[in-house]
């Protein structure tokens, strides 16, 4: 069971800011920006590379939730949406998730 599954099942506390039947969003415990939110589907998809065509609605929903949360969190000056896929990309939890980062200038290229 990943840390995200434990958060979803409320075995581990998290600062949840949004939730519905399909996904949950909460503040990252090790933020890389003043705003760093993780948007996590409740159904386990290990990583983007493992997503199937049946996951299209869920994947689209995760991005629209990022958009909505960016507005709610007043990221009007810009924000970044990141999905890491695999160890070389910095993926640390094998459960697909979207990072929403903002409230500071973000450099390019990243890391």
CA dihedral (6, 10, 11, 14) positive or negative: positive
Q: Which of 27, 36, 95, 97 is catalytic?
A: 97
36 catalytic? Reply is no
CA atoms within 13 A on the CB side of 23: 26
Neighbours of 12 (CB within 10 A): 12
Question: Exposed, middle or buried, 110 (CB in 10 Å: 0-12/13-18/19+)?
Answer: exposed
Contact assessment for residue 72 and residue 25, using Cβ atoms and an 8 Å cutoff: no
Residue positions annotated with a catalytic role = 97
């Amino acid at each position: 069971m990943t840390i995200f599954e434990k958060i979803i099942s409320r075995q581990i506390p998290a600062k949840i800011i949004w939730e519905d039947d399909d996904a949950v969003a909460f503040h990252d415990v090790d933020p890389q920006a003043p705003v760093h939110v993780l948007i996590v589907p409740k159904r386990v998809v290990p990583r983007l590379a493992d997503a199937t065509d049946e996951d299209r609605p869920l994947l689209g929903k995760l991005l629209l939730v990022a958009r909505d949360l960016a507005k709610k969190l007043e990221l009007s000056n810009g924000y970044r949406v990141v999905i890491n896929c695999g160890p070389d990309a910095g993926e640390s939890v094998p459960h697909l998730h979207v990072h929403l980062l903002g409230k500071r200038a973000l450099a390019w290229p990243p890391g």
